[in-house]
C-alpha cells in the first residue's frame, strides 16, 4: 500500500467515519430533546388552560348554585302573599340581594330569576314569570319547561344560531329537591371563554370544552358549539383515544383533561411546528458535519502537499542519484537533508495533532447543545388579590363563614406559594396547618376534634416547610377521618434535648399493610400533590442527613401515627451536600 492510499485510509478511519457517527448521534439526541421538550411545553400549556377554564366555569357555577339554594329566596318564592306590601318587600329583597351578585363576574349580560308563584308579581328586572315570549335563547316558556323537566339542576347551553352567547340554567330547589323556579344567566362568550379558546398554541391547535354528555360548550371554532363531539371533525380522535389521556394520530396530538365532575377539556395540536423544529435541527447537524469534514479535508490536503509531495520529490531525486545523476543530486543537495526530513515529519505530526485537537473541540461544542422547556408560573399576587376581592365581597354581604374560609385560604396559599426558601419557623408551619384545618372544619363542621400539644420554646426554631400539612391532609383524604365516630387528630411538637419531635396521630381508617410496607421501603405508595410522605422523608435526609427521621405506624381500622424527628436549629439549616 503506497503512501497516498495510507493517507486516504487514515483520513477515513480517523476523521471521516468518527465525524459522521458523531454527527448522526448528536442529531438523534438533539431530535429526542426537541420532541421531549416540545411535548412537555404542550402538556404544560394544556394543564394551565384546563385550570383556567375550570376556574372560570366553577366561578359561574358557584354564582348560580348559591342563588339557586338561597334559603331566603326559596322561602319568599314559596310563600302565599296576602297584600301588596309583602309582595313589594320580596321584590325589593330579590333586587337588593341578587342584582349586585350578578355583577361579581365579567361577561354576565342577563341575570333573571323565574318563578310561578301566582301571588307574587314580577317586577321586570330580576324577578319574572315565564311566558311564551321570545328572548335570547328561544321561547321563554319553552326554556322554563325544559329546565324544570330536566333531571339536572344546573346546565350550560348555547344560544341557537348565535355563537357569541352562552346560557347557564339552574333550578331553584330546597333541600328536598322541590323546584320553586329557575335562574337564567346569559353570558357573553368572548368575555368568559373567548380569551382562552381563541387561537390557542399560537394558532397551531384548537381547544374544546365538553359537558357531561360530550356536547361542545366552548370551542376555538365557534361553529362547533352545541354539537356532539361524535358528529364533529375531531370524532376520529375521540374514538381512538379510548381511556388514554393523549394520543398522536395522523400528525396531530390530541389530549383530554378532566375538570371537576364529568366535564372535560380536549386539545388538538398540529405537530407541524415540531416537524419544523426537527427539520431545522437535522439541517443544522448536516451543515455542521459537512463543514467539519471539508475543514478536515482541507487540512489533510495541506499536510499531504507539504509532506508527502516533498518526500516523493526527495525520493525521485534520490532515485536520480542512484541512477548516477549526480548533477541533480548536487543541485538539490543540502548539508542537513536528514535533519530537514525529520523536521518535516515533525511538522506533519504537529499538524495531525492540531487536527485531532480541533476534532475534540468540535465534539465538546456539539455535546454542549441543549434545550430548555418553557415553564409557566402561577403569579401569587394574582391569587392574593383575587382572594382579597372575594373577602371584601363576602364582608359586604355579611357572610362570616365565607370570610373565614377566604382568610384560611389566603393564609394557606401565602405559605404554600412562597418559593423563596424551603426553610421556615415552626410557628409558620403551624400557622399553615392551622389554616388547612380551618378550611376542613368549614367543610366538615364539628366532625373532627383537633388536639394541640405545642411547646412554646419550639416556635422560634427552624424546620423545613410542608411537613405537617401533607400528613394532616392524608388523614382526611386517605384516612377518611371525617367519617369516623369521635374523630380526632392530635398534633404535638416537643423538644427532647437536641432534637424536636413532631407527631400527628389520628383515629382514621388506617393504612393497608401492603401500602404501609411500600412506604417503609421508600416507594411511591399513591398519587399526591408533590409533597407526599416520600417527599418529606427525602427532604429530611437532604437537610439533616441521618439525624432527620421519619416514622409511620398504622393499624387498619384503628388509626395512624406519624413521627418526625429533626435536630434543633436556631439558625437556618442548609442542604447537606455529599461527595
Give 439-493 as a 3 state SS string.
HHHHHCCCCEEEEEEECHHHCCCEEECCCCHHHHHHHHHCCCHHHCCCEEEEEEE
Phi and psi torsions of 136, nearest 5°: -65, 115
Q: Could you tell me the pTM of the whole model?
A: 0.45
Percent of the chain with pLDDT strictly greater than 90: 17
Instruction: Name 561's Cβ contacts closer than 8 Å, sequence gap at least 6.
Output: 503, 504, 505, 552, 553, 554
Q: What is the average pLDDT value for the chain, to the nearest integer?
A: 78
Distance (Å, rounded) from C-alpha 207 to C-alpha 194? 11
Q: Is the pLDDT of residue 264 over 80?
A: yes
Using one digit for the tens of pLDDT, what is the confidence trace for 6-48? 767 777 777 778 878 887 787 777 777 777 777 788 888 888 8
- The pLDDT value recorded for residue 370 is 31
- Rounded CA-CA distance 556/517 in Å is 13
| Residue 227: per-residue pLDDT | 87
Any residues with CB less than 8 A from the CB of 222 and at least 6 apart, and which? 163, 164, 189
pLDDT of residue 315: 58
Output the nine-digit C-alpha cell for 559.
Answer: 388509626
- What average pLDDT does range 495-502 have in this prediction? 93
Grid coordinates representing 23 are: 454527527
Nearest Cα residue to 78 out of 185, 175, 184: 175
In the numeric block, the cell 411537613 is attached to 467
- At 172-182, the pLDDT tens digits run 998 888 999 99
CB atoms under 10 Å from CB of 519, counted, come to: 19
Q: Give residue 333's pLDDT band: very low, low, confident or very high (50, 70, 90).
A: very low
For 106, half-sphere exposure in the C-beta direction (CA atoms, 13 angstrom radius) is 8
Angle (CA) 489-510-437 rounded to 5° is 30
Rounded Cα distance between 397 and 378, Å, is 29
Of residues 151 and 296, more confidently modeled: 151
Q: 50 and 257 in contact (C-beta within 8 Å)? A: yes
Provide the strand spans (E) within 263-327.
Answer: 264-270
Amino acid at each position: 500500500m503506497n503512501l497516498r492510499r495510507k493517507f486516504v485510509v487514515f483520513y477515513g478511519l480517523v476523521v471521516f467515519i468518527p465525524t459522521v457517527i458523531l454527527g448522526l448521534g448528536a442529531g438523534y439526541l438533539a431530535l429526542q430533546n426537541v420532541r421531549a421538550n416540545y411535548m412537555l411545553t404542550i402538556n404544560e400549556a394544556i394543564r394551565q388552560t384546563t385550570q383556567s377554564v375550570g376556574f372560570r366555569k366553577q366561578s359561574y357555577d358557584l354564582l348560580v348554585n348559591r342563588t339557586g339554594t338561597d334559603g331566603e329566596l326559596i322561602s319568599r318564592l314559596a310563600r302565599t302573599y296576602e297584600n301588596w306590601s309583602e309582595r313589594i318587600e320580596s321584590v325589593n329583597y330579590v333586587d337588593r340581594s341578587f342584582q349586585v351578585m350578578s355583577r361579581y363576574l365579567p361577561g354576565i349580560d342577563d341575570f333573571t330569576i323565574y318563578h310561578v308563584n301566582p301571588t307574587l308579581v314580577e317586577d321586570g328586572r330580576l324577578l319574572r314569570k315565564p311566558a311564551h315570549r321570545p328572548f335570547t335563547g328561544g321561547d321563554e316558556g319553552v326554556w322554563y319547561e325544559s329546565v324544570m323537566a330536566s333531571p339536572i339542576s344546573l346546565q350550560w347551553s348555547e344560544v341557537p344560531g348565535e355563537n357569541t352567547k352562552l346560557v347557564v340554567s339552574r333550578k331553584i330547589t330546597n333541600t328536598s329537591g322541590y323546584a320553586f323556579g329557575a335562574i337564567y344567566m346569559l353570558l357573553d362568550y368572548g368575555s368568559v371563554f373567548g380569551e382562552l379558546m381563541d387561537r390557542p398554541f399560537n394558532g397551531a391547535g384548537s381547544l374544546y370544552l365538553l359537558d357531561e354528555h360530550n356536547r361542545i360548550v366552548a370551542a376555538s371554532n365557534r361553529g362547533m358549539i352545541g354539537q356532539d363531539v361524535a358528529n364533529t371533525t375531531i370524532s376520529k380522535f375521540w374514538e381512538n383515544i379510548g381511556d388514554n389521556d393523549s394520543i398522536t394520530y395522523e400528525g396531530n396530538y390530541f389530549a383530554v383533561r378532566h375538570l371537576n365532575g364529568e366535564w372535560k377539556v380536549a386539545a388538538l395540536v398540529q405537530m407541524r411546528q415540531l416537524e419544523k423544529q426537527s427539520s431545522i435541527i437535522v439541517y443544522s447537524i448536516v451543515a455542521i458535519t459537512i463543514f467539519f469534514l471539508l475543514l478536515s479535508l482541507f487540512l489533510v490536503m495541506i499536510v499531504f502537499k507539504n509532506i508527502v509531495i516533498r518526500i516523493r520529490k526527495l525520493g525521485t531525486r534520490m532515485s536520480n542519484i542512484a541512477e548516477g545523476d549526480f548533477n541533480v543530486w548536487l543541485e538539490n543537495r543540502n548539508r542537513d537533508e536528514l535533519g530537514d526530513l525529520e523536521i518535516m515529519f515533525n511538522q506533519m505530526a504537529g499538524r495531525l495533532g492540531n487536527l485531532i485537537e480541533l476534532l475534540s473541540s468540535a465534539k465538546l461544542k456539539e455535546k454542549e447543545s441543549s434545550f430548555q422547556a418553557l415553564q409557566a408560573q402561577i403569579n401569587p399576587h394574582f391569587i392574593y388579590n383575587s382572594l382579597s376581592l372575594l373577602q371584601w365581597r363576602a364582608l359586604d354581604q355579611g357572610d362570616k363563614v365565607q370570610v373565614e374560609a377566604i382568610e384560611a385560604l389566603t393564609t394557606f396559599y401565602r405559605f404554600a406559594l412562597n418559593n423563596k426558601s424551603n426553610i421556615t419557623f415552626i410557628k409558620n408551619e403551624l400557622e399553615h396547618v392551622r389554616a388547612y384545618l380551618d378550611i376542613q372544619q368549614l367543610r366538615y363542621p364539628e366532625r373532627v376534634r383537633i388536639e394541640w400539644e405545642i411547646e412554646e420554646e419550639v416556635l422560634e426554631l427552624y424546620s423545613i416547610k410542608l411537613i405537617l400539612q401533607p400528613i394532616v391532609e392524608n388523614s382526611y383524604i386517605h384516612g377518611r377521618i371525617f367519617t369516623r365516630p369521635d374523630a380526632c387528630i392530635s398534633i404535638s411538637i416537643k423538644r427532647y434535648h437536641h432534637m424536636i419531635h413532631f407527631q400527628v396521630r389520628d383515629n382514621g381508617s388506617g393504612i393497608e399493610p401492603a401500602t404501609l410496607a411500600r412506604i417503609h421501603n421508600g416507594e411511591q405508595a399513591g398519587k399526591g400533590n408533590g409533597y407526599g410522605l416520600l417527599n418529606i422523608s427525602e427532604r429530611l435526609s437532604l437537610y439533616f442527613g441521618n439525624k432527620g427521621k421519619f416514622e409511620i405506624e398504622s393499624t387498619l381500622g384503628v388509626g395512624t401515627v406519624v413521627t418526625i424527628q429533626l435536630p434543633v436549629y436556631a439558625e437556618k439549616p442548609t442542604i447537606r451536600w455529599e461527595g
